[in-house]
Structure 1
Amino acid sequence: MATVTREARLPKACVIGAGCSGFTTIKRLKDYGIPYDCFEMSDEIGGNWYYKNPNGMSACYESLHIDTSKWRLAFEDFPVPKDWPDFPHHAQLFQYFKDYVDHFGLRPTITFNTRVETARRTADGLWAVTLSTGKTRLYDVLFVCNGHHWDPRVPEYPGEFDGPAFHAHAYCDPFDPVDMRGKNVVVVGMGNSAMDIASELSQRPIAKNLWVSARRGVWVFPKYLNGKPADKSAMPAWMPRKLGLALSRSVLKKTIGRMEDYGLPKPDHEPLEAHPSVSGEFLTRAGCGDIKFKPAIKALEGKRVRFADDSVEDVDAIVFATGYKISFPFFDDPDLLPDADHRLPLFKRMMKP
């Protein structure tokens, strides 16, 4: 019998993870008839959008609604349900993902409850992938879809804090993991999760006082403009990008006004120059005085927190909404790991040149 050479067959791929990046990757591989194995360490697809995922890697909190409208998040070949609200709850998105996987017959091709322990290049350019089962398999191509919102990044400060202090990744609701009723709370950060959690905890029946602490000011955009989801707006294709940005900035400034008028610090950048923070509630809470602002934390002093302006507050709990590390625990090759500033130079943010 003649030996089948590598050139005579299609390359086989390994896909790490069955979150939305993983299962859309295998859908496309299946479309083109390319053989693959997909390994998921949990018992279900969905990754970050699987609330209380038993693998401990979901960042969902109970009240979470996605900040991208259904018009923008929908898969091109699988429309979202017509009765969905503009900004669906995480449970709706999770069900949508499961329906997608089942509709395209992807579930039988995913190996669940199996973790990729190591992935290493071999001398002949293949990938040796070792699994939690103890087996090692060889692949021509490796797709890394393990997500970037599971390894919390917590800043370090001088001193120690005597109360509960935890990352937003552990936050479920105002009572889990800590009952926040009647507490003085500091939320560190001004990203989307910080906005959501601060807005929820600052309600009067819950936190006694709530401060948001951040190093810099940001622009907070509304979810709606002119009665429609803001991200549904688009400039005509013929319009130069520079002109489109200038017009968008003008509209946003006119619509939301100055951040200083809400009691927030003045941003050090123009709208759309940095990743936007989106919230339909945060500015209202800030304008009502339920959310108060503090600069960066300078030091922890037992039950008190000192801020960069040397103001000091009695604090019962700290929530760090300070982002995540980019981590690939299965790689040991330094060239495949991000630098100290969590940067990984990739072509199209996907492939290493």
Structure 2
Amino acid sequence: MEKRVCIIGAGSSGIAACKVLQDEGIPFDCYEKGSDIGGNWRYMNDNGMSSAYRSLHINTSKEVMAFSDFSMPEDYPDYPSHFQIYEYFRRYVEHFGFRDKIRFRTGVERVEKIADNHYRVYLQDGRVHDYSAVLVASGHHWKARYPDFPGTFTGLCMHAHDYKEPDIFLGNKNVVVVGFGNSAVDIACEAARYTTGQVWISSRRGAHVLPKYIVGIPFDTLNKYSVEWLPLSMQRALLSFFLWIARGKQERYGIPQSDKPLLSEHPTISQDLFNLAGHGRIRFKPIIQELQGNRILFSDGSSEQVDVLIYATGYKISFPFFDKNFLYVEEDNRLRLYKHVIHPEHKGLYFIGFIQPLGAVMPLAEQQAIWVAKLLKGDCKLPDKASMYRDIERYEQQLRRRYKESPRHTIQVDFYPYKRDIKKLIKQGAHQPVSVAIF
């Protein structure tokens, strides 16, 4: 069998993996279901998996989001639009010259493990290829997760994944957005600017809402002044102080506060919510109790006539190309990987970009790909299987102590500590005996 790698997906994580493997001289084929690169950041992507809506802008600053060796253009704003991010990715691919290694309009139908470091990949066009390794970079924001409320809603109803244009809000429309994450708040803010009716955000609990700017500086750039060596209580106190400077108490705007401490759940990033909530354009409701035709009954007993209902209720981590008996995590999103990359049971199978940081995925996916390339070449080695499982268990225990149990928090990482952790693994590989190389 020819020693070659399969990369699944040409979104932001997939192109990072392509670039790294090319740098390391590792032969690969990248398969992309759509007709172009960009993944979730390609608006109206014909692979059917993009959740981008027309007005989408990044919630992490361009400085934090950029790849290590390819800066975003100077004339980009602090928070570029998805159109600009796609153009940045296009330039990245062209600059490093690996577009010809991506097979567009070529979906992966099935992946079978034949043996360690031997995978058979069945393509949707009928072709079959064998590979020494598979890098899964297919993303985790494309298969919608829906709540199960009793009753029926007769108005316009959709998941945030399918929301694209704000025209659906025009007129005197009453809108309910279910969820309190970034997409929920973005869509609610857009609805409030377009409808003359009322917009409600419905959620089981409050959330910690962070502005995009603190004293005129993009919020996530402050994270580079690492404070993780401080006790968590002091980190929370410091963050609370900065938030008080930036926006005071969020309850003052009518925005319900989370009952969990700061840094115990993934925060919501929004600059607009404070003004729109303060003006009464967005109000808040508890969770839905029942759908009643064109009305919605909430758990506090209140009832409202509603025209548009949007579920911004998250996504399932899904791998439709794997047999369910091989790997299936859709129910709880519990993807048990060593350092979020390595499955201890399956040598030669790697996952790139399956993390949820407070910050951008792209630079972390880049570091993951560098680590994988070093493993493939034998420049790094892995601990034994038992050690990897112990590390996974320690991580899951930390999650349980810090975050509420939820499918949203199963792949949570802190941006800078995680980045340093992967860099440390790469550096250690240069100073220790190596395993047998695949390439």
TM-score higher than 0.5: yes
Cα distance change of structure 1 residues 73 and 180 upon mapping to structure 2, 3 Å threshold: same
Match of 1:323 in 2: 314
Rounded Cα–Cα distance in structure 1 between residues aligned with 2:171 and 2:19 = 46
Q: Name the CA shift for 1:244/1:302 in 2 (closer, same or farther; >3 Å).
A: closer
* Shift in Å, 1:256: 2.6
Provide the C-alpha distance between the structure 1 equivalents of 2:105 and 2:229, rounded to a whole number of angstroms: 49
Query: Does the Cα contact within 8 Å between 2:174 and 2:197 map onto a contact in 1?
Result: yes
Aligned to 1:283: 274
Is the 2:117–2:131 Cα contact (8 Å) retained in structure 1? Answer: no
Instruction: Name the structure 2 match of 1:300.
Output: 291
Q: Counterpart of 2:85 in structure 1: which amino acid?
A: L
How far residue 26 of structure 1 moved from its aligned partner, in angstroms, is: 1.1
Give the aligned partner of residue 303 of structure 2: 312
The structure that is helix-richer by fraction is 2
Are the counterparts in 2 of residues 259 and 267 from structure 1 also a CA contact under 8 Å? no
The answer for the alignment partner of 2:127 in structure 1 is 135
TM-score by length of 1: 0.93
Tell me the amino acid that sits aligned with residue 189 of structure 2: S
TM-score (norm 2): 0.75
Aligned to 1:3: none
2: CA distance, partners of 1:245 / 1:347:
28
Gap change, CA 1:186 and 1:238, over 3 Å in 2: closer
Give 1:181's aligned residue.
171
Q: Distance in 1 between matches of 2:316 and 2:292?
A: 27
**CA deviation after TM superposition for structure 1 residue 235, in Å:** 6.0
Aligned to 1:264: 255
The yes-or-no answer on 1:336 pairing with 2:327 is yes
Counterpart-to-counterpart distance in 2, 1:26 and 1:255 = 40
Label 1:124 to 1:96 Cα distance change in 2 as closer, same or farther (>3 A): closer
Q: Count how many residue pairs are aligned between Structure 1 and Structure 2.
A: 342
SS in 1 for 2:143: coil
Deviation at 1:240, TM superposition (A): 2.1
Compute the displacement of 1:249 (Å). 2.9
Q: What's the CA shift for 1:207?
A: 4.1
Sequence identity percentage: 46
Write the letter of the residue equivalent to 1:194.
A
CA RMSD of aligned residues (A): 1.7
Contact 1:174 1:181 in 2 (8 A): no
CA distance in 2, matches of 1:34, 1:123: 20
1:241 matches 2:230: yes
Matches of 1:333 and 1:105, distance apart in 2: 36
Per the alignment, residue 340 of structure 2 pairs with 349
* Cα deviation, residue 180, structure 1: 3.8
| 2:19 aligned partner, one-letter code | K
Q: Take 1:219 and 1:20, find their aligned partners in 2: how far apart are those partners?
A: 27
Return closer, same or farther for 1:237/1:171 CA change in 2, 3 Å cut-off: closer
Alignment of 1:1-353 (within 5 A): 11-123=3-115, 125-175=117-167, 178-203=168-193, 205-234=194-223, 236-237=225-226, 240-242=229-231, 243-338=234-329, 340-353=331-344
Contact 2:32 2:104 in 1 (8 A): yes
Change (3 A) 1:253 1:238: closer
* AA in 2 matched with 1:149: H
One-letter amino acid of the structure 2 residue matched with residue 292 of structure 1: R
Q: Distance in 2 between matches of 1:315 and 1:352?
A: 45
Give secondary structure in 2 for the equivalent of 1:186. Answer: strand
Check whether the contact 2:253–2:278 (CA below 8 A) recurs between aligned residues: yes
Does the 8 A contact of 2:215 with 2:246 survive in 1?
Answer: no
Amino acid of the structure 1 residue aligned with 2:179: G
Residue type of the partner of 1:102? E
Render the CA deviation track for 1:251-291: whole Å, top value 9, x for unaligned: 22443333322212231112222111001101111111100
Give distance in 2, aligned partners of 1:313 and 1:81: 47
CA distance in 2, matches of 1:89, 1:255: 23
Structure 1, residues 299-319: CA drift from partner, whole Å, max 9, x if none? 101111011111111111101
Query: What's the offset of the Cα at 1:232?
Result: 1.2
* 2:264 maps to amino acid: E
Contact 1:118 1:330 in 2 (8 A): yes
